[in-house]
Amino acid sequence: MATVQGGMLNTQISILGPARHPNPLQSQRDVFVEDGSRVLLASMLDELQSPPATFELAGPRRQIFFNPTEIACGIVTCGGLCPGLNDVIRSVVMTLSYSYGVKRIYGFRYGYAGLAASQGIEPLLLTPELVQDIHDDGGTLLGSSRGPQEPADMIERLQQLGVHILFAVGGDGTLRGASALVQEIQKRNLAISVIGIPKTIDNDIEWIERSFGVATAVEEATRALEAAHAEARGAYNGIGLVKLMGRHSGFITAHATLANADVNFCLVPEVPFSLEGFLAALEERLLTRHHAVIALAEGAGQDLIEGEVTRDASGNVKLKDIGLFLKEAIGRHFDRKGLETTIKYIDPSYIIRSVPANAVDSEYCLALGQHAVHAGMSGRTDMMVGYWNQHFTHVPIALATQKRKQIDPQSELWQQVLGATGQPRGM
């Protein structure tokens, strides 16, 4: 396997072999990315390493590894729904079809289950005509699922169909599954490329500044917070409590709080709080202003709820319902105090994740799909498309899945949240 060297971090990208075919895009464009083009990881002088750590710059190469007329490609979407999934599918299909002339593109249905030969789920044959309008709809044309499949089972299906490039759209678990698939492909010495396109509504994948769908999710979450604010102000001692998505990372909740600016308490998984401290601060707010809005990430305060830990099909911990827990705890607290309150609890989770992408995310998804195709055609593998320091990049999956991205309580983002809400530190 050939590699492209990175900096001190292991940012090298695996390549299937020398690129010997002229890129058909040479008839459409003048600018191509030369091997060796890099993007700095550091954005500030005091973060620079020596030598500086860099990512490989994404984009089309003049020479490509695969002959587009001789291969089939596949795409699979895994995990929960997210705004922009259909936009990514559409972008990949349109780029493969119109830019590279690939004739056979398979859409594997219901996640990795549809990729496994033993499951017997027939793939869709994706064409530009089939996908031309799907970006107007939420969800995914291909369906999705959770849970691992055997790499050997999936490779059997890829070989049956002559698929040489697989695009895996999903989060941390999907990317790990894609990397496991690559390891088995390499053991068999097969020329099959696997490219990850990071999809996580929680924005919790490292080395990508923003995952697709997050801008749409924040926009929809802001609408829920606006409704909660109206409800809270409409009653004496009114409380609007909104639970938003964010299992381990509270980015949606934090950004929606800043976009709304009427939120008084922002509770996220990265910043623990005590029930007593929160209730005391909420009581003080009601006594002075007689209404309050609470933005709550679903993964916040899990340590406050008793009960056994269970897991889903992908091995993820099933969260306890912090929204209902907090609603009941608030009610009990003010009943004991003899203080009359009105609580409106709003949980828009599935509405937020299943809507079509907004314009910002649609544009972003188009670029992610295009760069994924360029990377696959050049023979790169075991990587995801990233976006870093205002450039699209190639990120090794192993690096992207090394740890989860979370809000740093010392970051400017969280300091802005504290300033906007006025909530006390260390509740």
Q: How many CB atoms lie within 10 A of CB 275?
A: 15
Q: Cβ(245)–Cβ(252) under 8 Å?
A: yes
Q: Cβ(19)–Cβ(65) under 8 Å?
A: yes
Q: How many CB atoms lie within 10 A of CB 233?
A: 16
Q: How many CB atoms lie within 10 A of CB 360?
A: 16
Closest CA to 294 of 229, 353, 215: 229
Write down the H helix ranges in 162-245. 172-187, 214-233
- Using CA atoms, how far residue 126 sits from 260, 284, 319, in Å, is 40, 58, 36
- Using CA atoms, how far residue 265 sits from 222, 297, 333, 408, in Å, is 14, 11, 17, 17
Closest CA to 309 of 322, 294, 299, 319: 319
Write the single-letter amino acid at 212: F
Clarify whether 202 is annotated catalytic: yes
Write down the H helix ranges in 14-150. 85-94, 112-115, 128-131
Residue among 172, 202, 347, 361 flagged as catalytic = 202
Residues, the chain: 427
CA atoms lying within 13 Å on the CB side of residue 150:
7
DSSP 135: G
Q: Hey, which residues are catalytic here? A: 202
